[in-house]
Amino acid sequence: MYKNRTYRNLVKKNDLVSFNVVVKETDLFIHAGEILADKTTELVLKYRGYIESYINRYPEFEKTLKPWQINGPAPGIVRDMVNAGNKAGIGPMAAVAGAIAEYVGLDLLSSSDEVVVENGGDIFLKTNEPVKIGIFAGKSPLSLRIGFRIDSIKKPVAVCTSSGTVGHSLSLGNADAVCVLSESCPLADAAATSIGNHIKSKADIPKAIDVGKNIEGIDGVAIIMGDEIGLWGNLELITVNSRAVNQSTKVKEKKRLSFITEKSKKTGIGNQALGDSK
């Protein structure tokens, strides 16, 4: 069932059109060069069908919280989910929203040279110029006020978000938002959940960042809990609202940090997945 998500009102790229496609629990918000709703619906049915068929054969695949081992044939999207879960040390369904976003997005690139696919906060994007992605972090004072500048000109990029305080998807932690940057959307999705599981209090932020460092294929991690943010990796932090970053905002760790105070005209918003399970 479609749910009104007000943060999507802030997802804008002026030269692209936007449309929504909902199939069962999958709720996609897409930017592309033209309305591709029918094609997108077909793609969602196709890839959901692969996953649902695999679950019919192996029902435990849907519920396990542990890495899965494939024995025998499996669709590519299932293999990517399994590989992502194994790298992150959790079950494969933690990668399902990111996997669908990426597989749908890659196919849509045959019809549009720019595509942004958001699946409950897990974002696959390929654009011809850098875009700015804000972070939805529930009741945190930083929510929708800070974000990243993302460059996907040369190749697609994924930004996935998990939360222990927003939405009904499974998280064993208490972070308001854990954002992960990667070239792989399934991996970013699984890693965001895995990292978030380690955060019970603000004191756990450095430890959780260390978890992210050790997941192969992760390019950056941002963790928001209350008024604190921990950063690691190749991230360019921006302020969507210049009041967001003040003296009470504490940066725990970083390799490269850049503040851009002007308000973005092209903004995408990340959120905890409210559709497919994490």
CATH at 33: 3.10.520.10
Q: What is the pLDDT of residues 211-263, one digit of tens each?
A: 999 999 999 999 998 888 889 998 888 887 644 444 344 444 443 332 222 22
* pLDDT more than 70, % of the chain: 78
Rounded to whole angstroms, the Cα distance separating 3 from 10 reads 16
**Residue 278 belongs to some domain of the structure:** no
Return the bridge partners of 22, or none. Answer: 27
**Residue 215 belongs to some domain of the structure:** yes
Q: How far is CA 118 from each of CA 58, 66, 198, rounded to the nearest angstrom?
A: 28, 26, 25
Half-sphere exposure in the Cβ direction for 221 (13 Å, CA)? 31
**Residue 276 belongs to some domain of the structure:** no
* Model confidence band, residue 168 (pLDDT cutoffs 50, 70, 90): very low
Rounded to whole angstroms, the Cα distance separating 84 from 78 reads 10
Asked whether the predicted pLDDT for residue 267 surpasses 50, the reply is no
**Nearest Cα to 73, choosing from 50, 98, 99?**
50
Contacts for 232 with CB less than 8 Å, ≥ 6 apart: 209, 212, 213, 220, 221, 253, 254, 255
Task: State residue 169's pLDDT score.
Answer: 53
Sheet holding 237-239, edge to edge: 237-239, 146-150, 131-135, 267-270
What angle is formed at CA 6 by the lines to CA 150 and CA 145, rounded to 5 degrees?
45
Q: What is the DSSP letter of 33?
A: S
Domain that holds residue 190: 6-270
Rounded to whole angstroms, the Cα distance separating 165 from 167 reads 7
* Model confidence band, residue 38 (pLDDT cutoffs 50, 70, 90): very high
Residue showing tokens 């943010």: 229
**Nearest Cα to 222, choosing from 155, 163, 153?**
163
The torsion angles phi and psi of 258, rounded to 5 degrees, stand at -135, 130
**Residue 137 belongs to some domain of the structure:** yes
Ramachandran class of 56: left when φ > 0, alpha when ψ lies in -120 to 50, beta otherwise: alpha
**Residue 142 belongs to some domain of the structure:** yes
**Residue 277 belongs to some domain of the structure:** no
Comparing 28-32, 169-173, 227-231, the range with the smallest average pLDDT is 169-173
Amino acid at 4: N
**Nearest Cα to 125, choosing from 154, 91, 165?**
154
Our count of domains for the chain comes to 1
Predicted model pTM: 0.82
The torsion angles phi and psi of 115, rounded to 5 degrees, stand at -145, 135
Greater model confidence, 157 or 164: 157
Q: Quick one: angle between helices 76-88 and 185-196, nearest 10?
A: 30
Rounded to whole angstroms, the Cα distance separating 163 from 268 reads 17
**Residue 21 belongs to some domain of the structure:** yes
Rounded to whole angstroms, the Cα distance separating 156 from 169 reads 26
The SS3 call for residue 9 is: helix
